[in-house]
Structure 1
């Protein structure tokens, strides 16, 4: 971390293979990870998307609230209190918006929905498993 004047003031790890990083108006740090981070060995990267405070404390991850598991980030942006994270999966591309919870409750964020496009998969994405017929 650097001060507004450009001096180093602290350091911490945000995980591996960060594709996109953005800060919101409250100073939280949002990260979207690549496949090496999601499927690698760093526990903070495995959720695919995350929020951090300025002390480096992990304050949010999707924890199963995404429509499908991400393979990597595509973009990140903020719009007022909403943070938008674009990501892709085996199922297509998605745009997820989250409104951070008030500072009194830093461990949560309210998912505001996901917009998905189920188009051709990313060329680097591994092939999804082939569904097996149900056995009765």
Structure 2
């Protein structure tokens, strides 16, 4: 029974839409959690942390699939840092959910940018 469930999980992870779904869920949880940080810190902080974990798990694979670049730990750290800054700003100053969503997309863009710079620097070192 355990082997069957393990096989089903691996087949699900191989599907193309799985990482997109993880990222969409991560964006939703992060935006909702960040918008509720000032009202209910316990629930919202858990939602923000789970959203950051889902971002970390999915953006690297999507960047590899779309841009054909290797994911880097530096880019992942930059994205997590920018997401934490967005969460802290939304905690200290109540932001609208649309603005949080746009800042979330900016943090994904930061990941892509840092990953691209890291990919180019590795490529230049090899030459």
TM-score (norm 2): 0.29
Greater strand share, structure number: 1
Give me the TM-score of the superposition, normalised by structure 1.
Answer: 0.28
Compare relative contact order (CA 8 Å, sep 6+) and give the higher one, 1 or 2.
Answer: 2
